[in-house]
């Protein structure tokens, strides 16, 4: 079995173990999928009438001078509210700060140049966290800016929310949704709109091939990052990824430019 065959076999096994709690899978489930995104947001907000107009998977926002960020899922609804939906396998201890940064970076793309601050729209950063990061067993935590003394709202329309991935109350809509985020098999899922997408990527030839391609891209990009971190020259990196991943010079160049951009 050659390198490509061996990697293909490993990918097939990994694909079957993917869950929506894995960010590379989350993006594929929701990218451009307004129906699935509507389902998630309506459940999180306890509504049935929220309409999603646009969904983009893994939007990268570059900082002018500082750190760039890649949002897992960015969506806007018919009420002109914006959402960043993220998954987190473990709490690194910095989630509130990461949520703050995501929220601020959303504003940089949502407010056109030259527009008044009054044009800023309400934003919601929603983290689905696999562990009970707060530790009080509540299924959902919703944070806004308030006056410490009076408890009055600041009115900046910025919201940060954490969904408890240990919420196992499957008698509730949110509990069922969390359950579906943790499933590896579509047959075990409650919500058909999510199960349908999972089946596509795990059970159809086109879906499995696409996921294998995504995994290839992740490996190549991670290798480029690693080699750059240790100071390898650009020409050497190109040669190494051409050999390791059986790429043409043009393909390698495209990956290199993508990582620089």
- Per-residue pLDDT tens digits for 63-102: 666 677 889 999 999 999 999 999 998 767 788 999 999 9
What is the rounded CA–CA span in Å between residue 217 and residue 213? Answer: 6
What is the rounded CA–CA span in Å between residue 192 and residue 183? Answer: 13
The pTM for the full model equals 0.87
Q: Collect contacts of 74-77 with beta carbons under 8 A, ≥24 apart.
A: 74/106, 75/34, 75/37, 75/41, 76/52, 77/41, 77/50, 77/51, 77/52, 77/53
Taking residues 198-220, what's their average pLDDT?
91
144-203: pLDDT as tens digits: 999 999 999 999 999 999 999 999 899 999 999 999 999 999 999 999 999 999 999 999
How do the domains of the chain map onto residue ranges?
Answer: 19-203, 208-260
18-59: pLDDT as tens digits: 999 998 899 999 999 999 999 999 999 999 999 999 999 988
Q: Confidence class of residue 253 from pLDDT cuts 50, 70 and 90?
A: confident
């Amino acid at each position: 079995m050659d390198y490509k065959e061996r990697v293909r076999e490993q990918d097939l096994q990994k694909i079957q173990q993917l869950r929506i709690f894995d960010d590379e899978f989350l993006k594929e489930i929701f990218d451009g999928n307004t129906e699935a995104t509507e389902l998630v947001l309506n459940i999180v907000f306890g509504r049935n009438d929220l309409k999603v107009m646009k969904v983009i998977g893994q939007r990268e926002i570059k900082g002018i001078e500082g750190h760039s960020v890649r949002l897992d899922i960015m969506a806007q609804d018919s009420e002109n509210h914006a959402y960043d939906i993220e998954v987190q396998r473990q709490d690194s201890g910095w989630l509130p700060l990461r949520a703050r940064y995501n929220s601020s970076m959303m504003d940089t793309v949502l407010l056109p140049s030259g527009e008044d601050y009054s044009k800023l729209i309400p934003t919601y950063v929603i983290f689905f966290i696999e562990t009970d990061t707060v530790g009080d067993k509540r299924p959902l935590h919703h944070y806004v800016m308030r006056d410490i003394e009076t408890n009055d709202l600041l009115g900046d329309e910025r919201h940060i929310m954490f969904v408890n991935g240990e919420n196992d109350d499957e008698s509730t809509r949110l509990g069922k949704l969390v359950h579906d985020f943790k499933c590896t098999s579509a047959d075990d899922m409650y919500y058909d709109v999510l199960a349908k997408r999972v089946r596509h990527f795990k059970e159809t030839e086109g879906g499995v091939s696409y996921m294998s391609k995504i995994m290839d891209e992740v490996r190549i990009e991670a290798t480029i990052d690693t080699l750059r971190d240790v100071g390898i020259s650009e020409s050497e990196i190109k040669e190494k990824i051409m050999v390791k991943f059986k790429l043409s010079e043009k393909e390698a160049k495209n990956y290199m430019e993508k990582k620089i951009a």
